[in-house]
Amino acid sequence: MNKKWWHDKVAYQIYPKSFYDSNGDGIGDIPGIISKLDYLQDLGIDIIWLSPCYRSPLADQGYDISDYYDIDPRFGTMEDMERLIAEAKKRNMYILMDLVVNHCSDEHEWFKKACEDPDGKYGNFFYLRDKKEGELPTNWRSYFGGPVWEDLPGTSKQYLHLFHKKQPDLNWENPEVREEIYKNINWWLDKGLGGFRIDAIINIKKALPLRDYEPDRVDGLSSVHKMLADASGVGTFLGEMRDRTFKKYDAFSVGEVFNEKEEELPEFIGENGYFSTMFDFNETIFGGSEKGWYDAAPITPDDYKKCCFETQRKIGDIGFVSNIIENHDEPRGVSRYIPEGDCCPESKKMLAALNFMLRGLPFIYQGQELGMENVPFRSIEEVDDISSLDEYKVALEAGCTPEEALNAVRRFSRDNARTPMQWTSGENAGFTTGEPWLKPNPNYTSINAASQENDPDSVRSFYKKLISLRKNPEYKETIVYGTLEPLWEDRHNLMAYYRKGDKTLLVIGNYQRDMQSVTLPSPFRKILLNNYPDMTAEGLTVTLHSYQILILEL
Ligand code: TEU
Ligand code: CA
């Protein structure tokens, strides 16, 4: 495998609105991020992905962009953004922006011009169809609920939106649209960005001609996934985008790719792939149901292990996958992947190490390093996220009681990850001096950065140790490039694997409350990491404590 500048790095995702508010308006901002760069550097972070902070009506929290060349005033100014890039550079850090180009905002000037003259140049920037009374162009259900078609204001046409109605889909079939997008990407790369995280990118290719699919819910609509499975040729767009933009800059790109076909992996992330890497969502989609969140199956430790190993096998040495425990669209990983009632510093550290030591690029989502947990929402009024509000409605319509519907939201709400970063035990978790746009998780009094930074046994300190292990010159080669081989794969509630390179490492996690013994295949030389002060061993037999994780050098 040809080595790339980003292979041995550690990445961190910031959700700007909830990271740190520098001016007391209750909304996190870029100057706030700049003031926390030292915190991130201390942790060992090299690459920072910012969720969108372009000009936006924030209908989907910035994933609806009205000006790709501007920063939303709520997040700061272009000067702030340039300063962030420069300050990061001083610390040998790279900034990634979020590339949201499947759709723009209905407040973007392209869309406004399309409304004024739907048959003109900008009409062809979108998917427009003539409106027919009592009939929609297709029966697809948008990701956020309801049909994907909406009346184009002031015209006799309708436009397509796979996401919210304030997120009209851009017509990638139109070369002028693609030119505009590449121009913008290069404009940002010229400013010194390290690259991009690429949003919802599989959606850019629609199956043409547009047609209906089998309905899958009582609303008579069909999931967008059916259409996407039927679409082919996205690679032509992705390859063109790579060649016209990222490649020229040796920029880093990480794709938000769902449902790629296994045989296409080399095209996506192999040598000269469309992207540098893409996220592994195998764990996050596990148990998902076509019916909605209320019907989703929980994931057990054995399932979690299976999902991780499945991805590792699939990718092999084709390329580099990006590993996550959570992101801004998912519940907190510790609440999801640790059996109920067992969330504690030990189990959080175990999960961290199991994920972090996988082959690939580790991404940490803000607050994950503190072990931040899901939010105990008391009512749906406390939820802001459009996706959660839709799923609540879907659950009620399917016959759930309000409590059952709220439970589904508690389990999966995107707001679980969007509450303010917990900096201190002070008011509003130290996130803002004003009124926060979303209430902090009440557990900030016990889970916060200030109390963990100087505690050698904190979850944050454990993350720091994991990061320094990955960067330790003695083990780096093995951890970054070594192969991954599962061990004792059929053992219940145990996840173990080798990392083999110039060293042989063994990661063993006791994924349960009860103790459990294993017999090592050979004696170990050194304990590289342990979430307990001790390790119980007799000869080759090791008895692991509740949720104990060991990284051993054999
Ligand atoms: O997400 C794309 C996506 O397909 C899902 O993860 C989606 O957010 C989820 O099904 C809703 O519960 C990306 C962004 O990460 C997400 O925040 C945006 O809302 C979405 O694209 C639209 O830009
Ligand atoms: Ca602010």
Per-residue confidence (pLDDT) for residue 1, from 0 to 100 = 84
Is residue 143 lining ligand 1, measured as CB closer than 6 Å?
Answer: yes
- 218 pLDDT band, cuts 50/70/90, is confident
Torsion of CA 425, 429, 431, 434, to 10 degrees: -110
Any idea what DSSP says for residue 90? H
Res. 30: pLDDT tops 80: yes
- pLDDT-based confidence at residue 49 (cuts at 50, 70, 90): very high
Q: Who's near 208: CB < 8 A, 6+ residues apart?
A: 173, 231
Atom of ligand 1 nearest to the CA of 258: 4
Cα–Cα distance for residue pair 530/280, rounded to 1 Å: 26
How long a stretch of residues is the chain? 554
Among 262, 288, 330, 345, CA closest to 546: 345
Instruction: Say what the pLDDT of residue 386 is.
Output: 96
Is the minimum distance from the CB of 94 to ligand 1 under 6 angstroms? no
Average of per-residue pLDDT values in the chain: 97
Q: Whose CA is nearest to atom 10 of ligand 1?
A: 143
Nearest ligand to the CA of 257 is 1
Q: Average the pLDDT over 368-389 and give the result.
A: 97
The finding on whether 329 has its CB within 6 A of some atom of ligand 1 is yes
Query: Tell me: the pLDDT tens digits for 141-161?
Result: 999 999 999 999 999 999 999
Give, in order, the Cα–Cα distances in Å from 196 to each of 96, 253, 258, 259, 364: 5, 5, 17, 20, 16
402 by DSSP, 3-state: which?
Answer: helix
Structure tokens at 168: 């009209």
> Ligand 2: distance of its center to the CA of 33 in Å?
10
Q: What atom of ligand 1 comes closest to residue 164's alpha carbon?
A: 22
Cα 217 to Cα 202: distance, rounded to the nearest angstrom: 23
Q: How far apart are CA 152 and CA 487, in angstroms?
A: 57
For residue 433, report the distance from its CA to the centre of ligand 2, in Å.
10
Q: What is the pLDDT of residues 81-123, one digit of tens each?
A: 999 999 999 999 999 999 999 999 999 999 999 999 999 999 9
Looking at the CA of 63, which ligand is closest? 1
pTM of the model: 0.98
Residue nearest atom 17 in ligand 1 by C-alpha distance: 329
Span 27-38, average pLDDT? 98
**Is 106 a known active-site residue?**
no
Q: pLDDT at residue 421 above 80?
A: yes
pLDDT at 262 over 90: no
Residue 243 annotated to the active site = no
Instruction: Using the predicted structure, report yes or no on whether residue 20 has a pLDDT greater than 80.
Output: yes
Q: Within 13 Å of residue 261, how many CA atoms lie on the same side as its CB?
A: 10
Q: Cβ(12) to ligand 1 under 6 A?
A: no
Q: What would the two tokens of residue 356 be?
A: 């972090």
- Whether 60 is in the pocket of ligand 1, judged by its Cβ within 6 Å, is yes
Examine the pLDDT at 259 and tell me if it is beyond 80: no
Residue pair 363/467 in contact by the 8 Å Cβ criterion: no
135 forms beta bridges with 132
3-state secondary structure 136-152: CCCCEECCCCCECEEEC
Q: Where residue 260 falls among pLDDT bands split at 50, 70, 90? A: confident
pLDDT(173) > 80: yes
- What does the pLDDT look like over 176-202, one tens digit per residue? 999 999 999 999 999 999 999 999 999
What does the block give as tokens for 453? 């930074």
The rounded distance, in Å, linking the Cα atoms of 553 and 527 is 6
Decide if 239 contacts 274 (C-beta within 8 A). Answer: yes
Residue 369's pLDDT is: 98
Q: Which two tokens stand for residue 344?
A: 């504690």
pLDDT band at 261 (very low <50, low <70, confident <90, very high): confident
pLDDT, average across residues 317-343: 97
When pLDDT is averaged across residues 441-463 and rounded to a whole number, the result is 98
Across 435-439, average pLDDT: 98
Q: What is the pLDDT of residues 516-541, one digit of tens each?
A: 999 999 999 999 999 999 999 999 99
Predicted local confidence at residue 131, as pLDDT? 97
Contact residues for 471 (Cβ-Cβ < 8 A; gap 6+):
8, 10, 44
